[in-house]
Structure 1
Amino acid sequence: MHIYFSFKSAIFNFFHLTNENRHCTSSAGVIALLMSLSVQAANVNETIEDGLQFGEQGKYGQVKFDLRYRYENVNTSDNSPVKTAHANTLRLRAGYLTPEFHNVQIYAEYEGNLAMQEDYNSLRNGLTQYEVVADPQEQELNQFWLSYKGLSGTLIKGGRQRIELDNERFIGNDDWRQMEQTFDSVLISNQSVENLTLNFIYIGQIHSVISTRHLVSMPVFNFSYKFGRFSTLTGYGYWLADHEDAINSTQTYGVRLHGEPKLKHDIQLSYDVGYSNQADYKNNPGNYALDRYLIILGAQYVGITLKSGMEQLNGNDIYAFQTPLGTKHDFQGWADKFLVTPGAGVRDIQASIDKSFYGVKFMFAYHYFTDSKGNGEYGNEYDFLVTKHFGKHYQLLAKYAYYDADNSQAAINAGVEKDTQKIWVQGSVNF
């Protein structure tokens, strides 16, 4: 009701201004309307923010919520017997964060996804006649953790929690999906040394994006060190023992160096280079060691950002370098054709350009995929994005991905021989 009267008041003010000043241009009246609506919207946001806090400035804790609607369409080659997927879903996260008491804080969060149109294979609903959209209609306790900050420069957090390490290539929450990935784990993060962050983690169970549980034993070590303003060095060791799928049991070591140095004349460069090695571990039946290489270079000028480079995950035709716990949608194209690396590996040669106009971001990305030796072609992918943020709480997004499969034996062997088109329309509210 408050929102309705605020909007009504804004409209009344607009007509009042135009009636009182008939000699003013219509554009001035429109500007007045937009300014009035902007003020009213800011007041509404402030009212909501205050309402979600208990006591002054959250003295007794605060409520957090995230509401996201999405339509997703997935279509493969015309001769495919699998039907086109249409998914209309609405995801809600709602949580309560306590105030700090003797350096202790607790957070509990519910997550639920409603399938308003379930013409898709969620990997949980049995509708295998449709293409896959991995957003099942499920609900769960998404997070429930306790943290302690009583030691100087140290955070200790235990329970079910979101973990996003580095660029999330190896460990992330995979937040593109409606139900995010969280971890039953203990985390110790130390920042006692200036510019250095040390993370020690033990993960015992994974809650996947399709709301299933997976038992693992995984010690994690990760550090980041900032050199001045423009460079960050990251090193890591991940020891994953998968008790339910032995082929995922791997030990991975690597380094990453990235930064965004500024030059004269408003030119800013960027670089992201990395190397990793992955080998079998614990109950894995294989005996192998494989490499991953990354080099992405970029430049920004007058608001236009250009990037180009390559990521390569090697394979030996039986085993391949895998990242089962990473936020994989952010890598190797939005069509998600390489969520599992083919046995022959994958080389992703890529380029992207993005630019914002009047607060609307436009982005185009191109990917050329081959096996890790560069001999067998998999295909090309074209990705487009348009997104707009309205303040810090609201976002609209439209996204498109087209994977153009190569008619080759390599693509068939890798299971990526089908042309694939994906369309997304999304709106979200987050407080």
Structure 2
Amino acid sequence: MKTIAYLFLLFVCSSPLLSQFKLSAEVRPRTEFRNGFKTPRSTDSDPAFFVEQRSRLYLDYAEEKYTFRLVFQDVRLWGEVPQIFKSENGNTFLSEAWGQYNVSPRFSVRAGRQVISYDNERILGGLEWAQQGRRHDALLLQFEDEKKVNRLHVGLAYNADDDRPEPVYLQAPAANFYSVSGNYKSLQYAWFNRTFAEEKGTVSLLALNATLQNADSTHSNKQTLGTYLNYRAGKFTLTGDLYAQTGSQNGQSVGALLAGFSATYPTKATPLTLGVEYISGKDDTDETGRVTSFMPDYGTNHAFNGLMDYFYVGPANGTVGVTDLYLKTKWKLGSAALLAHAHHFLTASEQLDAAGDKLSASMGTEIDLVYVRPLATGVTLHIGYSHLLGTETLTALRPGNEKSNNWAWTMLTFKPTLFESDAKKKK
């Protein structure tokens, strides 16, 4: 990795073209104490304690007609390999690798492994809280006017695995069967965004189709259609999103809904955000084969419905759905800040207990506190604590039997710029 960076830097510094090069890095160890994280703890379970670290090297290069980025990444738990070793489990990999060609000032084409992120990242997001992040191998067509008042992005992706390598098995039976779980076989989307006059906010429209590989070699196509709005009205900042899912999934028809709304008011002491989000589920009494539970498959789900990740991060929550009532605020403490979030969770479907009786809709209340302090240029400290008080409904629906659960963490992020060249004209 050092050799690659050195050669790349040598090439850029010797180039007579109008070009820019930036070499930056990131080291982000995060220590976590998990005692009921993602799902209620059990009486006989012990807390988990570990340190996970992300290390990255970013290489960005730009000329007048094109740009490209390479990001090398290593993600590991402290101590997962011996101090003296010759091989390991392959934690170092390519996080991003893409090139973008500027066909004209208003149209560009980007191809390669990249982050796809829009709006509040509810449907498409980079998932940067997770140490590994979320990446797509895709082609992106970008149409943007000069002031970026109107923007249209069209993305296309087709995934294949290497169990039928070219050229011997290129046309063999099942050569196009995609066996990588948890991913789409192909993706097509269009995103349109318009900025309001006087920069009062933006509105976006999204149409996305994901083609999924079924176990019987057939395909399912699930569509997500919706809009996102961010608008400033006087002292209030209003945000809202509304998405519907349709199509099919494993041979079953899909009809699901996500709707959210929040209002932020800047008081003299601290801004207050009051909001609600509804994500549809499936009633226990629903015996139809229709899929009515909405799944935000490719978003940054950690940013929503509480930081303890009880909903839509990993396999948690099944088809229950959720209605999330929340209050968020933020206090400035000198150069630091303290974030405080409160959530009350309810089911978004009718659920039954083991005896067939209807469960209460209330699942529990979560409090999240995060302290953020810049320590130096490129160095930031985060300290977090979350506590969730569950109900009988929560323990009936999830593994684990304890209603009181907590999670504490601290994260130190180093993100320096190692080298940055100035654009220079050809003499």
- Gap change, CA 1:362 and 1:137, over 3 Å in 2: farther
* Residue of structure 1 equivalent to 2:86: none
- Gap change, CA 1:271 and 1:202, over 3 Å in 2: same
* Residue of structure 2 equivalent to 1:424: 409
Superposition deviation, residue 79 in structure 1: 3.6
CA distance, structure 2, for counterparts of residue 250 and residue 142 of structure 1: 27
Among 224, 229, 251, the alignment partner of 1:252 is: 224
TM-score by length of 2: 0.75
CA distance, structure 2, for counterparts of residue 342 and residue 230 of structure 1: 38
Note the alpha carbon deviations across 1:239-280, whole angstroms, 9 max, x for none: 11122689995211111211234x4xxxx3211112111123
Superposition deviation, residue 58 in structure 1: 9.5
CA distance, structure 1, for counterparts of residue 96 and residue 224 of structure 2: 27
CA distance, structure 1, for counterparts of residue 346 and residue 303 of structure 2: 18
- Gap change, CA 1:110 and 1:363, over 3 Å in 2: same
Among 128, 143, 167, the alignment partner of 1:190 is: 143
**Residue 47 of structure 2 is aligned to residue 93 of structure 1:** no
Residue identity opposite 1:240 in structure 2: A
CA distance, structure 2, for counterparts of residue 153 and residue 392 of structure 1: 34
TM-score by length of 1: 0.74
The answer to whether the 8 Å contact 2:41/2:401 transfers is: no
Superposition deviation, residue 105 in structure 1: 2.2
CA distance, structure 1, for counterparts of residue 369 and residue 187 of structure 2: 36
SS at match of 2:126: coil
**Residue 202 of structure 2 is aligned to residue 237 of structure 1:** no
SS at match of 2:302: helix
- Gap change, CA 1:78 and 1:219, over 3 Å in 2: closer
Please give the residue correspondences for 1:398-413 in structure 2 after superposition, counting only pairs within 5 Å: 398-408=383-393, 412-413=396-397
SS at match of 1:343: coil
- Gap change, CA 1:213 and 1:312, over 3 Å in 2: closer
CA distance, structure 1, for counterparts of residue 369 and residue 324 of structure 2: 17
Superposition deviation, residue 429 in structure 1: 1.2
CA distance, structure 2, for counterparts of residue 249 and residue 421 of structure 1: 39
The structure with the largest helix share of the pair is 1
**Residue 292 of structure 2 is aligned to residue 346 of structure 1:** no
What 5-or-longer segments of structure 2 have no aligned partner?
1-8, 82-88, 162-179, 284-290, 351-359, 418-427
CA distance, structure 2, for counterparts of residue 213 and residue 341 of structure 1: 16
Residue identity opposite 2:245 in structure 1: Q
The answer to whether the 8 Å contact 1:367/1:381 transfers is: yes
The answer to whether the 8 Å contact 2:42/2:400 transfers is: no
The answer to whether the 8 Å contact 1:88/1:118 transfers is: no
Paired residues in the alignment total 355
Among 15, 25, 30, the alignment partner of 1:70 is: 30
**Residue 41 of structure 2 is aligned to residue 109 of structure 1:** no
CA distance, structure 2, for counterparts of residue 206 and residue 357 of structure 1: 50
* Residue of structure 2 equivalent to 1:222: 191
Q: Equivalent pairs: percent with the same residue?
A: 17
- Gap change, CA 1:145 and 1:386, over 3 Å in 2: same
Please give the residue correspondences for 1:115-264 in structure 2 after superposition, counting only pairs within 5 Å: 115-117=77-79, 138-192=91-145, 195-205=149-159, 214-228=183-197, 229-243=199-213, 250-261=222-233, 263=234
* Residue of structure 2 equivalent to 1:276: 243
CA distance, structure 2, for counterparts of residue 206 and residue 220 of structure 1: 19
Q: Which has the higher contact order (CA 8 A, sep 6+)?
A: 2
SS at match of 1:254: strand
Residue identity opposite 1:272 in structure 2: T
- Gap change, CA 1:188 and 1:416, over 3 Å in 2: farther
Superposition deviation, residue 400 in structure 1: 1.3
The answer to whether the 8 Å contact 1:86/1:117 transfers is: no
The answer to whether the 8 Å contact 2:105/2:146 transfers is: no
- Gap change, CA 1:97 and 1:316, over 3 Å in 2: same
Among 276, 296, 299, the alignment partner of 1:310 is: 276
